[in-house]
Structure 1
């Protein structure tokens, strides 16, 4: 399988993505944890792609799904050269105090594990105070939210840079703009 990484020097750089022998040998999937995809790039970088969703019949909606995944794979995610990225459909603004797995708690747990949000590091903004949205409900500029994230392990934090796509360039394709991370080895 081929994928593309975006770089400022060359707009699209082909890389090989290893999809067999996923990085977590016991990649446990269940009905409520079905939208997580761990893969390895160039036998060097482990990536976990995330898409959390909400449904009325789920006890663990949105960030709760990632919290549950994190509990199962905490040991797998304790290594180096790891990127966790995707559509978390979550923001600290929607935290509910009666949940132990709200956005703030999960981000704090990631920080304890050595992960940092590339957006918040790069733009020096606090969780919940984002000035650059990643999602536009009904593709409307007036209904914008920051719900997509890239977290990197501590060994990659300073070696990584993040760019965010512009609304006008992407709204004909998606209601999200892409987060493009460059990791310099």
Structure 2
């Protein structure tokens, strides 16, 4: 199976056809519009088998699968105490394993934006994680850890390690968190502002994977500030 995660930077209806050559079984797409409410016929047809969440019909988080694949949304909580967190879309694939699509958001939080949202989500739902693949745009890296904050990127990574969930990129490259040499995002599409903020994080059942690739900037920068991550197992 091949899974691709990509922040499309909006307007997926005008870009989805460019994903064809990747020939993935499942696409996890951040910043895409709601296919159900789209007036773009071809986009609706392409996304026939999908799950989607978002506050605006124009920008949310979607999981798109081939027609032969069964995707069932899981009823996991997006509440931490009295606060909602976003965006997290958990589902099962072919009733076989869990998939958690992620696009962390500032969510108007003065203190717990982005990786803080994931930290909250894990405190509520980590107990449910079994055979799981987590993929998406975390908007986070260890370089932004703060010494007096208890919900840093590193804290989230360590919480996942308690469940033996590891980053595919780091296990395959041998690089440490915060020292990545391959970027996934270019701020304002500027090649001089590269960051590694997109991830595949997988439980032990998927750590002996077949292949993992990160798209090349030159091939994607005209249509998005992110490049796709491609995971095969």
The verdict on a shared fold, with TM-score over 0.5 as the criterion, is yes
Q: Tell me how far apart the structure 2 counterparts of residues 55 and 132 of structure 1 sit (CA, whole Å).
A: 28
Partner of 2:228 in structure 1?
A: 178
Partner of 1:47 in structure 2?
A: 99
Are 2:216 and 1:166 equivalent residues in the alignment? Answer: yes
C-alpha displacement at 1:97, in angstroms?
1.3
Partner of 2:88 in structure 1?
A: 36
Gaps of 5+ in 1: none
Q: Would the aligned equivalents of 1:118 and 1:161 in 2 still touch at CA under 8 Å?
A: no
Partner of 1:109 in structure 2?
A: 159
Partner of 1:16 in structure 2?
A: 69
Q: Which stretch of structure 1 is more off in the superposition, 113-122 or 154-163?
A: 154-163
TM-score, scaled relative to structure 1:
0.84
Q: How many residue pairs get matched?
A: 171
Stretches of 4+ aligned residues off by more than 4 angstroms:
none
C-alpha displacement at 1:169, in angstroms?
0.9
C-alpha displacement at 1:69, in angstroms?
0.5
Q: After the TM superposition, which residues 74-85 of structure 1 pair with which residues of structure 2 at under 5 Å, given as runs? A: 74-77=126-129, 79-80=130-131, 82-85=132-135
Gaps of 5+ in 2: 5-20, 26-65
User: Cα gap change, 1:174/1:17 in structure 2, threshold over 3 Å: closer, same or farther?
Assistant: farther
Partner of 2:197 in structure 1?
A: 147
C-alpha displacement at 1:5, in angstroms?
4.1
C-alpha displacement at 1:34, in angstroms?
2.7
Q: 1:156 aligns with which of 206, 210, 223?
A: 206
Q: Tell me how far apart the structure 2 counterparts of residues 63 and 33 of structure 1 sit (CA, whole Å).
A: 11
Deviations 1:126-165 (A, max 9, x none): 0011000000001111000000110000121113531101
TM-score, scaled relative to structure 2:
0.68
C-alpha displacement at 1:175, in angstroms?
0.5
Q: CA RMSD in A?
A: 1.9
C-alpha displacement at 1:16, in angstroms?
1.5
User: Cα gap change, 1:50/1:139 in structure 2, threshold over 3 Å: closer, same or farther?
Assistant: same
User: Cα gap change, 1:5/1:102 in structure 2, threshold over 3 Å: closer, same or farther?
Assistant: closer
User: Cα gap change, 1:34/1:163 in structure 2, threshold over 3 Å: closer, same or farther?
Assistant: same
Other structure's SS at 1:74 match: helix
